[in-house]
Each structure stands twice: as C-alpha cells, then as structure tokens.
Amino acid sequence: MKLSGNTMLITGASSGIGLAFANKFVELGNEVIVTGRNQDRLDAVAKANPKLVTIRSDGADLKAIADLARMMKDRFPKLNVLMNNAGILTYRNLGVAEDPVALTSEIEINLSGPIRLVSALIEQIKANQGTIINVSSGLVFVPLQAAPIYCATKAAMHAYTITLRQQLEDDGVEVVELMPPAVKTELAPLPDSVKTITPDELVGMTIKALEKGKLEIHPGQASGLRFMSKWAPSFIHGQLAKASKSLIPKPQR
C-alpha cells in the first residue's frame, strides 16, 4: 500500500485509534474522510484539523451505510482506501439474562457494519485498485473473558478478512488486517496491570509495517498473544481470564 496520494475513508475516527490514523495519513499527504456517530465530536475534529472531512454515520444503520456509500461515489470518486475501524467493547456477564438487542449491539457495529460497508463500496474500491484495512484485535488469538461478544466479533472479523483477501486477490485489491494490542483509549476501562500503548505509538508501528508490505499487522503485545496462543494456549488463556475476571459486571440484586 502506498502511504500518500490516497483518498481514504476511516470509520469511527472521531477519537482514539481512528483519529490518530486520520491525522497521520493527512500529514503523509492523503485526502482523509472520517466518520463517527457523535456530531459534537466530529465538529471538534474538524476544528482541530480542518484538512479532515467529517461525516456523521452509524455502522449499525443500514440506511446510513447506503447514504455513506452514495456520498463516496458522488463526492469522492477516487476513494481507494477503506479503513474499517469503528467498534465498541462492552464487558458482559453471560451468566445473567440481558436485553437481546443490547446483547448483540457489538455484532452490528464491529462485524455487520464493516461487512456491509465493504459490500457497498466494493465496486469503487476495485475500480481504483485500492486497499481495505480491517481493524480487528490482538484478542483474535486469545479472548478476554470479560468481553465475550467483542472478542467473538473480532475473531469473526479475522476469518472474514482472510477470505476477503483471498477473493479479491485477482482484482488487485490489497486487504490488510491490523490487530492492535491494548491501546489507551476511551474504548473500555482496563486494569492497571494491563500494559497499554498510545494511539500514536500504534500508528507508528503500523506505518512501518505497511511500508514493508505486511498484510497482517500485530504490533507489540499482540504479537506475543499470537505466539503464546500457538505454543502455550492453556497458560495464556488462563492468564487473560484472571486479568479480566474483575471486569465482569456483577449481577444486579
């Protein structure tokens, strides 16, 4: 993937990882469009960096996806990079009943949304010989027991990305998967014992990997999770289970 001269769409980029990537890619000489669900945050992003184009959109909303795809084709015909970054994480207790809509909200945003957006934009991406970057997680290798649905969506995204890469290979479309480790963002609170990196550190490591043509990028501790899942799976599963047990919500009395 070339790192400059692109027209890029980054979802869920009003803060955190997505915003850090958006600012870096603008700095590298790209036209960058970012989406988010919160208009106030998007307004703040646009004020802080006027070079970014901001669009309010919701990956869980079918109409919003269709509207976004139509806008990309009309206003940004040169769109050649899609970065599926939008995601939510909720700590859950699977031992208690929960509202079924809330229970699967992560599936809609983390998995269904990116799949639908790729489908909506695929002809444009193919025509421009572009790149799709799917952001999953280092937790595709070892799930965190406190975040069961989130981890399931990221594991599914991993499988989807592999097959997407295989199917688009003959079309000249590059498919990259970024599997971040724990990053210090607003996504969800983490125990003090969990080592995190900053969004800017993640961006730096990712840019270096993209320069080398890597299609699967697992920076920092994500690489360690990958290694341990192969060579000491029982040990690493147990360690993450212990580390996250305190994050499981207590049943309400």
Whether residue 91 lies in the annotated active site: no
| Distant-in-sequence, close-in-space partners of 183: CB < 8 Å, separation ≥ 6 | 16, 17, 196, 197, 198, 199, 202
Q: What are phi and psi of 148, to 5 degrees?
A: -65, -40
Task: Output DSSP code: residue 141.
Answer: T
CA triplet 82, 144, 146: central angle to 5 degrees? 110
The active-site residue out of 21, 25, 91, 150 is 150
Long-range contacts of 62-70 (CB under 8 A, 24+ apart): 62/116, 65/113, 65/116, 65/117, 65/120, 66/120, 68/35, 68/117, 68/120, 69/117, 69/120, 69/121
Annotated active-site positions, please?
150
